[in-house]
Structure 1
Amino acid sequence: MIPETETFQQFQAIALDLLAQAQLFLAALLRPWNAYQVGIALALFALAHGLAALARPRAHDWIRGREGWPKWRIRVLVLLHRRLRMIFFVALAWLVVWTMREFTWPSRSYILSIVASLATAWLFIAVATRLITNPILQSVVRYGAWTWVTLSIVGLTDETREVLENVSLSLGETRLTAWLAVQAAITLTLLIAVARFLAMTSAARIRRNDAISPSMQVLAVKVLQMLFYGGAFFLGLRLAGVDLTGLAVLSGAIGVGLGFGLQKVVSNLVSGIIILLDKSIKPGDVISLGDTFGWINALGARYVSITTRDGKEYLIPNEDLITGQVVNWSHSNDFVRLDIFFGTAYADDPHLVRRIAVEAAARTGRVLADRPPVCHIVGFGDSSVDYILRFWIRDPAGGLTNIRGNVYLALWDAFKDHGISIPFPQREVRVLEGATLPTRGAPGTGALP
């Protein structure tokens, strides 16, 4: 027969104690006044359900009429609107508990006070956890907090803590218990939620500040996020009682290994910081990198998001933007000069062609008038006189191919109106003296049919 260990005996004692308390609680429910309190609680819940059903339509119409109110206030009202039944139940339960304490013995409202306390805790936790946007994290925090509050109200916290402390894992001289893990999880969750709220609020204020450039806004937001989340993590572990000395040694060893295995990742992180500091590119800039042409959506820690004119989104590593040749069409200013080439017949007057080309380009939308187009002859080709037409725009984010196409169409219409022809290559074929061209031949002879 296997002897019982000390830990098993402690578990057995705690389990027997909890079982005894549960039996006492069930036996207490069979007493008349306790049964009456359970019936009163059910009646109050039914009454709260009816009141909420009557109040919801009117409250909904009243909320919809608050057009000039801030969004956060409307969201709070919507949240309370969804919890009307619980709000009515909590109010009615405490009203009945206060009345019974005034006119009867306190023991005759004991169960009702527990029910009212549990309902109040659930209502407060349900409203408070709405600040957490992650659905999974929100559910974990909500049900975990309500479980702990329930244990506190019914007086089982000491037994629960004793059970969790007996579940442990020893690593050398360090002993990790389930109670320590629960404390660390709760503390980290709360601190990370606070850090997230502070980071979002700070980011919104930074983005509203027009005095800060877009690249510096991104850098400031990233730095604040690192500080808030890093501080919340280490502070949470410290408050939970975790010894950070061993963690520092372990993180140093892991850092050395990751330094060799994640060189590209670290390079991209450092390159991202350099890009933000030197302001070479920023959100909204139009850039060309190889065959990729588009505007920058966001600057990430590892990559830059670029959207092209055809709707494709490219994630370019930060290192490529540092080491490669990047064309920033809007780095220091938004002015961009575009060149298009065309040719006309030798019979057309080149002075007239230049004037018509300049006028046609000037009439095209997006072409700047304060920097007028110019047209020059660049050569005499085999079949045409070759020209270059140069014009300026200041909105490269609007596209380059489309404005070139519009100018070409304007040239086509203008040349057609003035009778200027656009030649195409022509070739002359001469038949040497004494040569003959067969006009018809037998199959297989190679003669033309």
Structure 2
Amino acid sequence: MSIETAENQGGIVETAQEYALWVWDIASDWLLSPAAWTQFALLVLAFGLAVYVTRKATPVIVRLVTPPEEQTHIVARLRRYALIYLPLMLPLLAYAFTGAGEGVTRSLFGSGAVIAFGKRVFLFLAVRAFVRDIVKDSFLKMLGRYVLLPAMALHTLGLLNPAIDFLSNTIIQLGNISFSVMSLVRGVIAGALLFWLGRWSNDQSTTYIQKQEELRPATRQLAVKASEIFIFGLAFLLLLNIMGINLSALAVLGGAIGVGLGFGLQKIASNFISGVILLLEGQATVGDYVELDGGESGTIVKMTARAIFLETFDGRWIVVPNEDFITTRVVNYSDQGSSNRYEVEFSVSYDTDINKVPDIIEAAVAKHEGVLDTPYPPDCELRGFGDSGVDFAVEFWVNGFDDGENKYTSDVMFIVWNALKDAGIEIPYPHRVVEIKGGLPIAST
């Protein structure tokens, strides 16, 4: 053990001994002083009176504040919310009654140290009830349990200011940078609170924006991203200000980021700007079924600042950079509910009266519940004269695309088959005529 370490440990021991003697002197004075016993009696009386008032007043308050179950307006919700603070009634009443008695004891005895300590105890109990019974968020409960309650315990014992001075005077040196432990603790607590508040605010704003159904989905998505960037950017700037960091230093940081974007982050910047353009133009949005020039196809399930996520009908997700939606050809089969045209090809025998075929097929296909009359009803067209039969195709419009849950083409093929069979029309199969020159070979015996 070095001499410096031994000296530090000796200083800590001496400080602990001084605090122990200080506590012993206070305890001795309280135990031997009539004024202290009077203040103890007032504390007990104040607590007993608080218990009595709480028991009598709680049922009355619950009955008056609780709204009928069928009420859901904002006033009813506020009344229900106020009831969760009932656990604070007992310690706060004890604190108030003790405060009223403190003036009496100071006027009679010129001292109120004991009763002041009791007030701090009741305040600690109120904070403990708040953290234990009222706070429901897991993060805030953890922060209250490990930060607020220890701080209140130190305040109750009168050690909060010495602890703050000790942490402020303890300096951490990292190279040319030095800071106190207190500034680090303050930054951690403030950062945690700010970013929790930012997350809560972002959730609330996102919920509100998504409810605005009069806006296009792409516009809502852009508003959500803009609010998220604004909220967390503001939280970051506030944290820097709280920690005492000069905001002018951000100019240097911004220049460094600009250089990084110019060299190593070109693709990231390109994808981010492409994502903003997509959200502004609305040419593709969540729920659309798209097919890219590279062959990737699927339903858009998520749009982020970097990429768009497509879900195929076999359950796979394809991550497509936003830049691909700007620089390549994209086929949008959905286009927010537009109709699509499909066709089914078939053939009939040359013995068929082909003039009857269009009416038969068009009437049969039009009965399918998914086939539309607009923009055009089913249309059967003669396509050509094939080797084995006469070639036709029936075109039809549907609201959607032919994949996944929708089997329009398969359904129409069944309809065409059944309609031709019912009409007695033959669907041909290939015929081949084989000519053998020179006669058949004679089999040897």
TM-score interval, smaller chain:
0.7 to 0.9
Question: Which of 416, 431, 434 is the equivalent residue of 2:440?
Answer: 434
- Which residue number corresponds to residue 273 of structure 1? 276
Measure the CA separation in 1 of the matches of 2:435 and 2:254: 85
1:381 matches 2:409: no
Measure the CA separation in 2 of the matches of 1:224 and 1:19: 54
What's the CA shift for 1:414? 1.7
1:192 matches 2:195: yes
Structure 1 letter corresponding to 2:381: H
Q: 1:23–1:278: structure 2 CA closer, same or farther, 3 Å change rule?
A: farther
Measure the CA separation in 1 of the matches of 2:408 and 2:26: 82
1:403 matches 2:408: yes
Structure 2 letter corresponding to 1:222: K
Residues 44 and 89 in structure 1, CA contact (< 8 A), matched pair in contact too: no
Alignment of 1:131-210 (within 5 A): 135-136=138-139, 139-140=142-143, 142-171=145-174, 174-210=177-213
Measure the CA separation in 1 of the matches of 2:362 and 2:267: 50
Residues 37 and 112 in structure 1, CA contact (< 8 A), matched pair in contact too: no
Measure the CA separation in 2 of the matches of 1:92 and 1:155: 22
Question: Which of 279, 282, 298 is the equivalent residue of 2:302?
Answer: 298
Where structure 2 has 5 or more consecutive residues not aligned to the other structure, the ranges are 107-111
Aligned length: 428
- Which residue number corresponds to residue 291 of structure 2? 288
Task: Please list the CA deviations of residues 120-177 of structure 1 after superposition, one character each: whole Å capped at 9, or x if unmatched.
Answer: 22344567854x5xx4575236532333333334332222222222333335654222
Q: 1:299–1:91: structure 2 CA closer, same or farther, 3 Å change rule?
A: same
Structure 2 letter corresponding to 1:416: K
Structure 2 letter corresponding to 1:344: V
1:308 matches 2:312: yes
- Which residue number corresponds to residue 2 of structure 1? 3
Measure the CA separation in 1 of the matches of 2:179 and 2:116: 38
Residues 29 and 35 in structure 1, CA contact (< 8 A), matched pair in contact too: no
Residues 121 and 156 in structure 2, CA contact (< 8 A), matched pair in contact too: no
Structure 2 letter corresponding to 1:249: V
The percent identity for this pair of structures is: 29
Residues 141 and 189 in structure 1, CA contact (< 8 A), matched pair in contact too: no
What's the CA shift for 1:235? 1.6
What's the CA shift for 1:182? 1.4
Task: Please list the CA deviations of residues 258-285 of structure 1 after superposition, one character each: whole Å capped at 9, or x if unmatched.
Answer: 6544433333212211211222212232
- Which residue number corresponds to residue 420 of structure 1? 425
Residues 361 and 416 in structure 2, CA contact (< 8 A), matched pair in contact too: yes
Question: Which of 346, 359, 363 is the equivalent residue of 2:367?
Answer: 363
Where structure 1 has 5 or more consecutive residues not aligned to the other structure, the ranges are 442-449
Secondary structure of 2:338's aligned partner:
coil
Q: CA RMSD in A?
A: 4.4
- Which residue number corresponds to residue 229 of structure 2? 226
- Which residue number corresponds to residue 113 of structure 1? 119
Structure 2 letter corresponding to 1:187: A
1:394 matches 2:399: yes
1:235 matches 2:238: yes
What's the CA shift for 1:427? 4.0
Q: 1:98–1:176: structure 2 CA closer, same or farther, 3 Å change rule?
A: closer
Q: 1:423–1:21: structure 2 CA closer, same or farther, 3 Å change rule?
A: farther
Q: 1:353–1:172: structure 2 CA closer, same or farther, 3 Å change rule?
A: same
Q: 1:103–1:178: structure 2 CA closer, same or farther, 3 Å change rule?
A: closer
- Which residue number corresponds to residue 444 of structure 1? none
Residues 100 and 108 in structure 1, CA contact (< 8 A), matched pair in contact too: no
- Which residue number corresponds to residue 109 of structure 2? none
What's the CA shift for 1:225? 1.3
Structure 2 letter corresponding to 1:385: V
Measure the CA separation in 1 of the matches of 2:245 and 2:17: 32
Residues 275 and 304 in structure 2, CA contact (< 8 A), matched pair in contact too: yes
Structure 2 letter corresponding to 1:219: L
Measure the CA separation in 2 of the matches of 1:246 and 1:6: 40
- Which residue number corresponds to residue 91 of structure 2? 90
Measure the CA separation in 1 of the matches of 2:24 and 2:251: 49
What's the CA shift for 1:200? 3.1
Residues 37 and 111 in structure 1, CA contact (< 8 A), matched pair in contact too: no
Residues 94 and 113 in structure 1, CA contact (< 8 A), matched pair in contact too: yes
Structure 1 letter corresponding to 2:429: F
Structure 2 letter corresponding to 1:144: V
Measure the CA separation in 1 of the matches of 2:248 and 2:11: 32
Measure the CA separation in 2 of the matches of 1:383 and 1:47: 102
1:324 matches 2:333: no
Q: 1:19–1:298: structure 2 CA closer, same or farther, 3 Å change rule?
A: farther
Residues 11 and 163 in structure 1, CA contact (< 8 A), matched pair in contact too: no
What's the CA shift for 1:49? 13
Alignment of 1:59-70 (within 5 A): 66-69=69-72
Secondary structure of 1:220's aligned partner:
helix
Residues 284 and 295 in structure 1, CA contact (< 8 A), matched pair in contact too: yes
Measure the CA separation in 1 of the matches of 2:194 and 2:219: 27
Residues 337 and 400 in structure 2, CA contact (< 8 A), matched pair in contact too: no
Measure the CA separation in 2 of the matches of 1:300 and 1:92: 52
Stretch moving more, 17-26 or 256-265: 17-26
